[in-house]
Structure 1
């Protein structure tokens, strides 16, 4: 079935060679994707002011598109997607013995790096900087001077998206490693995974990473393969890797160590501070973890499906992590599948699944009495249930989004539809 092919569990991962423009591809036909839908998707990306877009499946390029004057050699700023890269660098530094994330930040920056009383400042650890739980007031969002870093709550008791404490991780890393951040990044990461571009620049008071889209994709591929590049470990500390992409605290379960996590019960947006029910990207695979930056810079990784989405560009949104655009893009990716048979297409148009949303039952309205089979999948592509009854009973299912694929007696796919169970 097209749906099963399109989001099947990942196979062995391909790694592109270093110092080469060679990168194996995978045709959209292998995934059962429709050329017309892909063209419409590219038009959508263009409308959203996208500069570059790459989609990998098991390491191979399925989609790669550059817009306007942009090329595969063009550099673009990661904005806050660089936070996730920084998290990896901190993990490497800890593995080398340069630092310990559970120690006080003042052990690396010195006392008085905030305007807090000493006993409150000493509560803040490097881990709090990684998890956005420093307790510092985020109103002076970008400022890193002590006078701007004022008390709001004890460290670890409040989650707030705050650039200042994050940005000071650069100073923590450089103090602990005794290396400039660009030197550290090159020696510990870029050389090992074949990144030919990539540089940290200072835009006072903050610093940002720039690279090509393909080097962004290399970073995503490293994360997808658990920090091992083509058999060579870049970070051996599996506990740290798992902590990066797991809920780091209960306040915002959709946040790890500077990574956004999908599939959680609730999330706090960068605009915060209120918790919002549901996952950050309900239309994306549930296991996705994302490096997200302002105006929609994404390194979005799903290990279960083998998909990695890279996007660089501009956006009209003022969302500091681009999460709204992230879900809209994934919604379109998950709808790229098509049915090539004309007769099947006609059947598809005449079949209806209702009600949607539903509280328990979904009815399959088909114009004749031909036998059908309905398969219900979760967003990770796992088959949850089969039904030969045109009235599908979803009793016992958790609330959320599912996909129903309907086949006829010849096993031809005649309908795919997302349904919402309330």
Structure 2
């Protein structure tokens, strides 16, 4: 019933227009030092934020299993809250605690693919079999060659996501269902194989390439871990916020280009295909006229988070792992924690956050 209400709300708010910087002026962003814990802050009182509503938001977060929550404004921390206990031990969750990104980490992989392409190691139009080898699926070699790296990035491989284990990337579990590019389906297995594409094309270990090209450039800490078939990134909340700030800054960090291919970056955070308007290169895009959800071949009208700004782009993961970037507000939102509603990609809780947040931050 809650999902039905959410979808109806999305439909009713279809006419919402995209928010923009009214003066169209570049905003001077702050970047925290690469190392250490120093990070400039802003007092929400000085920003004229509604403090009563902010307390309401904090209660919502705590009551729904949140462990870490950060709001950056122009790169500076305005809100940083931690709740509850770690999964192991009796220590309180704090700014040093590690948590899983789940599928929000897909955005990191997409970024690495763009970096590898910029360095000439691969091309999105190439068959992924050039790097995965023949026989990476149960299909014929000719069918495999029709699947490009771009299809992996856009969830349009055409491989059957109705198999028993959507995470299993064993060849026997990767079966033909549709021609590549003709069907959008949220399918973890083809995504996870992008790790191997990166390793084969660059000749580097995935984690080493990630650390060298991205993490050390912006001061991220954390590690990639294998959980079953999945490759999951673990970090503290501030590292997630750093990545969001990098995207807010158009791929630059303190004036230094980290994501050098701005064309790729633009494609990554905009509609990538005409099947699911709300999906880029492994990023979720708000403010589109329709969206699809995992496991369903239904196109729902409206935005997936109708109460949020229309220009918001997000990495979204299981159990409500969020890294969201809102250029029109110079805002980065990070949430780590336990599942608020048991959905595979918890759109509704993100929208619940924004129902309150839009009453906290004054209109421009």
Task: Give the structure 2 partner of residue 166 of structure 1.
Answer: 191
In structure 1, the partner of 2:113 is: 90
Give 1:311's aligned residue: 335
Residues paired across the two proteins, number: 333
> Relative to 1, partners in 2 of residues 1:337 and 1:264: Cα closer, same or farther, differing over 3 Å?
closer
> What is the CA distance between 1:271 and its match in structure 2?
3.0
Mapped partners of 1:316, 1:239: distance in 2 = 36
Residue 220 of structure 1, CA deviation: 0.2
**How far apart are residue 24 of structure 1 and its match?**
0.6
**Structural mapping, 1:94-109, within 5 Å:** 94-109=117-132
Alpha-carbon shift at residue 18 of structure 1 (Å): 1.4
For the 8 Å contact 2:320–2:340, the answer to whether it is kept is no
Q: Within 1, Cα distance between the matches of 2:22 and 2:46?
A: 11
1:225-264 CA-to-partner distances (Å, cap 9, x unmatched) read 1110000001211110000011000000100000000110
Q: How does 1:399-418 map to 2 (within 5 A)?
A: none
Q: Which position in structure 2 is the counterpart of 1:29?
A: 45
In structure 1, the partner of 2:212 is: 187
Q: Displacement of 1:316 after TM fit?
A: 4.1
Contact 1:80 1:320 in 2 (8 A): no
d(CA) in 1 for partners of 2:70 and 2:340?
Answer: 21
Q: Structure 1: 5+ residue runs without aligned partners?
A: 1-6, 339-376, 382-422
After TM superposition, the structure 1 = structure 2 runs for residues 274-285 of structure 1, keeping only pairs within 5 Å, are: 274-285=298-309
Is the 1:270–1:319 contact (alpha carbons within 8 Å) kept by the matching residues of 2?
no
Partner Cα separation in structure 2 for residue 286 and residue 67 of structure 1: 29
Structure with the higher fraction of residues in helix conformation: 2
Instruction: Give the gaps of 5 or more residues in structure 2.
Output: 1-20, 85-91
Structure with greater strand percent? 1
Instruction: Give me the whole-angstrom Cα distance separating, in 2, the residues matched to 1:181 and 1:328.
Output: 36
Deviations 1:164-197 (A, max 9, x none): 00010011111111111110011001111111x2
- 2:203 paired residue number: 178
Instruction: Determine the C-alpha separation between the residues in 1 that align with 2:22 and 2:360.
Output: 14
Is the aligned partner of 1:253 residue 2:289?
A: no
1:235 aligns with 259
After TM superposition, give the deviation of residue 115 of structure 1 in Å.
0.6
**Runs of 4 or more above 6 Å deviation:** 7-10
Aligned to 1:290, the other structure's residue is in SS state: strand
Max radius of gyration: which structure?
Answer: 1
- Give secondary structure in 2 for the equivalent of 1:53: strand
Mean CA deviation greater in 31-40 or 298-307: 31-40
User: Is the contact between residue 144 and residue 165 of structure 1 (CA under 8 Å) also seen in structure 2?
Assistant: yes
TM-score (norm 2): 0.89
Other-structure match for 1:38: 54
Partner of 1:206: 230
- Aligned with 2:336: secondary structure? strand
Deviation string 1:103-138 (CA, Å, 9 cap, x unpaired) is 001000001100112222111000000000000001
Q: Tell me the equivalent position of 1:136.
A: 159
Whether the 8 Å contact between 2:278 and 2:288 is mirrored in structure 1 is: yes
3-state DSSP of counterpart to 1:31: coil
Correspondence for 1:244 = 268
Deviations 1:33-65 (A, max 9, x none): 122221221111001100000000110111000
Counterpart in the other structure of 1:393: none
Deviation at 1:337, TM superposition (A): 4.8
CA drift of 1:215 comes to 0.4
The TM-score normalised by the length of structure 1 is 0.77
When the two chains are superposed, the root-mean-square deviation of aligned CA atoms in Å is 1.4
